[in-house]
Chain A
Amino acid sequence: MKQTPLHASHIALNAKMGEFAGYDMPLYYDLGVLKEHEWVRDHAGLFDVSHMGQICVKGKGAQDLLEKLTPSSFEKLGIQRTKYTVLLNEQNGIIDDLMVAKAGEDDFHMVINAGCKDKDIAWIKSNLTEGLEFIYFEDWSLLALQGPQSEAVLRDTLGIDLSGVPYMGVWYQDYTMFVSRLGYTGEDGFEISVPNDAAETLWNKILSDDRVKPIGLAARDSLRLEMGYCLYGHDIDATTTPLEADLGWVMRKDAKESMPAPAKKRVGIMLTDRGVAREGAIVKSRGGEELGVLTSGGFSPTLQSSIGQVYLPLDYAAPNTEVNVDVRGRLIPAKVVTLPFLKPRTKLPTK
């Protein structure tokens, strides 16, 4: 199994390790999943997400290439601003979802999913035109600090004032550190990219702050689920289009118009009775008809009930539609909920 440069730090912290996308990653630490989840919502949590891929496309025509490979427009994206989008195949299926930061005109930095790195890189490279440069930052690590105290922690531990950086904004220091104000938890927070040989020092420095706890991938999953964010390979994949995934908001007008109208839509599900429904549970109409399968699901510590995501036929996709979820043969009543389950507490976007 592959390891990130922080692997030894996780072992030293007594993390329960497990495989994710070919990497041996921390699933949770001593605090446990539930308390880690709550800690991020209340304080600040540090994640090692170095398994993710960091790449760059630059040169004349870089923006045109991105507008060819994604359904988004980068025309109005400001310099040092980031956008969420998806890579599409020729059948409008989602190859990956990613963050694209505009470092400068025709200069884009991207963070792609660990499990998709190889195919994404091959796909982008095969589409490169003359004059375009592709860089894979293979020897860079990525840390995420998430939670309401993140800005204060980075100020106090690193001496960096990020108060002027808006949500989805970028800050960097020479070629030693790239910071973007975003994340996968719905909280204010930052993703920090540094060369591998600086990762452990940075990790320890941030963790030395009492307001910070290390957080594993299990809580990362429950945090993102509460926000209705997609997990690639589960909630979205090459068989789903962005319109089906309810990601139309990332799309340009022309891309949206040329895509077939969806017959199903990704929605939130909340159990209205006790129990926990997980990925793979079948969602049925009250009449017993099979409607879809949970693409993710679990217990929401914040809402204290079981939530999930599912693709439902449009007739059943309206909020408050009553359905059942089959959990080991027991039909648990549930209702359709508009995503996200929780209101994001990210810093407000500023012009």
Chain B
Amino acid sequence: MKYALALLAALLPASAFANNVQLESQVFVERIVTGPDGKEQTALQEPKVVTPGEKLVFELNYKNTGSKPADDFVVTNPMPAAVSYAGGESDGSVVSVDGGKTWGPLASLKVAGTDGVERAAQASDVTHVRWTFAQAIPAGAQGKLTFRGTVK
């Protein structure tokens, strides 16, 4: 199994300030393992062996490495086609079920059913996850965002 991690940071060119925000995406497989004490516990493992139906935890790490606060900080994550959304963990996330056109808490969203009648959106309908920060991210600050998925 190949495991690739790419970090693509586009820097602001031609700026008087060396502004820089780092972003990193990681994925883990959540498994029940038996610990040394014989008790079962949940562990996050690297995605070496991944088969359909397994639970994934996506971690998004950001850090403002620049010298100025970062305002209007928005992190957007489209769901990979082979992954079904299974809920968020970090507060403040909103989701979209229509490819990023409209956003909101999952419970507030609707989708057109196969019979043309609107129904309440389910986790499997989610196409995007987004976090919008009301506060600026101060220089040097960092944080982690997570959401869960299931391999289709």
A pairs with B: no
